[in-house]
Homo-oligomer: A and B are copies of this chain.
Amino acid sequence: MPTGIPPGSLEPVLAWIDARHEAAIADLQRFCRQPSVAAQGWGMDEMADLVVEALEECGASTSLVPTAGFPVVVGRLKGAGSRHLAIYNHYDVQPPEPLEAWSSPPFEAQIRDGVLYARGVADNKGNLVARLWAVRAWRAVHGTLPCNITFLVEGEEEIGSPHLAEFAAANQELVRADACLWEAGYRDPGGAPVLYAGLKGMLYVELHTRGVAFDLHSSQAPLAPSAAWRLVAALQSLRDPDGRVCIPGFYDAVRPPTERERELMRRYPIDGETMRRLWQVERLLGSSDDPAALTEQLLFEPTCNICGLWSGYSGSGTKTILPATAGAKLDFRLVPDQDPATILDLLRRHLADQGFGDVEVIELEGSERPAQSPVDTPLMEALISSAQRVYGAAPRVLPRMAATGPMEQLCQRYGVPAIGGAGVGHPGSRVHAPDENIRIEDFILAIKHIAALLLDFAG
């Protein structure tokens, strides 16, 4: 152990990080250059091995826990204090398509003007690597960590974590902790980190329609039932132009915000004007311009979204066919206490009631229950104080994120409060989209934030 350094002090840890920007960035590029698309089964073994290797470089004792799908990488580190922090991340990424829309290849990890572009860099390889480097820094400077840590890094988050509930149930000793630091985090347009204590759930389905047995010459259109028109009509029955879902019973289980949750949304509202500018739209959905109302809409409204739509010929020029089949991918983002299985039943019943009983509804992997931890917990307090120190600004605390993750089956079910928000993202990170990116500056800040958090959480 180096001498002359006050035991347990943060400053030399932050200085160590500042002296190693280049190595940390290079390590992040190493992670981003390894494709790991769970939906396509691309590069997953290689990526899991890389996570094991990186955890071992940080001094963790690791295991690769098999599941019926891709394995969970577990890394355990003993700390000086008794507190125990679980850290949840995932090593899989979204598919990179459409490839032609990327400014540089999605797995090249190009840096341009201080921004790193890569599929998965914001969601969430950047976060995982930042957390590993915070651990590295503490161990390099002090030889130990302020608290115990268990890294839980799964490989199926982007396909709905279909095997994580089984993993958690079978490995409860690995999952139990005083709190769990969730995977993702973003700075808001003003630069403040946004912290959150819950996530939405999800139901992901495909709708398939079939008209005639094979694609016809479109001159048969006066007589032939069209799968494409059928799909359009079935979809149109699901949602009104303001985004309200028209499935009877859809909103029955929706739990309104508590007074404390409302207070947080009034205090830390989202910035609708910046979203309009960034997305280049004249107005957002819904009718309110009140920031707290917009925030409640984003965080507490469940949705029905079209992720994809296809039928017939979409190539260049003209092709005159009446397509035999059509399909759509839909995600429903759910809020407490909506249950994906119930919503699937309601969807099927609605389609049947509307005369669309012929529309096939296929549930894909990706169903998740919503989760909500109490907002006021020791981990939240530590995240706030450490963010204040590193970012020089008060973080914004919101009851939940609008995104989805396996928080219910990994944490809530075992009484572990989960909080997210220490991360590398910014509002233009284009998560799940072409040109996904993070600012290098945010990556370095995130390393420091985690380094400070470990100290504050240890208490």
Contact check, B318 vs A433: say whether CB atoms are below 8 A apart.
no
A315 within 8 A of B: yes
For residue A158, give the distance in angstroms from its CB to the closest CB of chain B.
7
> Is A62 part of the binding interface, using a Cβ–Cβ cutoff of 8 Å?
no
Instruction: Indicate if A233 sits at the interface (CB-CB under 8 A).
Output: yes
Chain B residue at minimum C-beta to C-beta distance from A306: B228
A182 vs chain B, min Cβ distance (A): 14
Given contacts A233-B236, A307-B323, A309-B228, is CB(A317)–CB(B40) below 8 Å?
yes
**Of A94, A223, A312, A434, which is in contact with the most chain B CB atoms at under 10 Å from its CB?**
A223
How many residues of chain A are within 8 Å of chain B by beta carbon?
A: 93
Interface string of A302-340 (1 = CB under 8 A from B): 011111111111111111111100110101010000000
CB-based contact A224/B314 at 8 Å: no
CA distance A231 to B246 in the complex (A): 18
| Bound complex: CA A337 to CA B195 (Å) | 65
**Residues of the B chain whose Cβ atoms lie less than 8 Å from the Cβ of A76:** none
On whether the beta carbons of B309 and A310 are closer than 8 Å, the reply is yes
Q: How many Å lie between the Cα of A62 and that of B38 in the bound state?
A: 59
The answer to whether A280 touches B326, judged by C-beta atoms less than 8 angstroms apart, is no
- One digit per residue, 1 when the CB lies within 8 angstroms of any chain B CB and 0 when it does not, for chain A 8-41 equals 0000000000000000000000000000001110
Interface centre among A228, A284, A403 (most CB of B within 10 A): A228
Q: Find out whether the CB atom of A224 lies under 8 angstroms from the CB atom of B297.
A: no
A435 to B324, CA, bound (A): 14
Q: A95-B317, A318-B160, A403-B217 are in contact. Are A306 and B329 (CB under 8 A)?
A: no
Instruction: Establish whether residues B218 and A333, one from each chain, have CB atoms under 8 Å apart when the complex forms.
Output: yes
Q: A329 touches which one: B222, B297, B310, B318 (CB < 8 A)?
A: B318
Interface membership of A279, Cβ < 8 A = yes
Q: Is A382 an interface residue (CB 8 A)?
A: no
Cβ contacts under 8 Å, A137 to chain B: none
A348-384 near B? 1/0 per residue, CB < 8 Å: 0000000000000000111000000000000000000
B301 near A222: Cβ-Cβ < 8 Å? yes
Does A97 have its Cβ within 8 Å of any Cβ on chain B?
Answer: yes
Query: Residue of B at shortest CB range from A302?
Result: B222
A257, CB-defined interface residue at 8 Å: no
Interface bits A406-442 vs B (CB < 8 Å: 1, else 0) = 0000000000000000000000001111110000000
B403 close to A317 (CB less than 8 A): no
| CB neighbours of A97 from chain B (8 A) | 313, 315, 319
Per-residue interface assignment for chain A, residues 235 to 270, with 1 indicating a CB less than 8 Å from any chain B CB and 0 otherwise: 110010101000000000000000000000000000
A40:B200 contact, CB within 8 angstroms: no
CA of A214 to CA of B435 in the docked complex: distance in angstroms? 10
The 6 closest A-B pairs by CB, nearest first: A39-B317, A228-B306, A215-B433, A213-B280, A308-B312, A221-B303
Known contacts A39-B319, A320-B404; can you find 10 more A-B pairs with CB under 8 A? A202-B320, A215-B432, A221-B331, A222-B297, A224-B281, A229-B239, A232-B236, A236-B236, A306-B312, A318-B364
5 A-B pairs, CB-CB below 8 angstroms? A213-B281, A219-B401, A222-B333, A224-B281, A309-B311
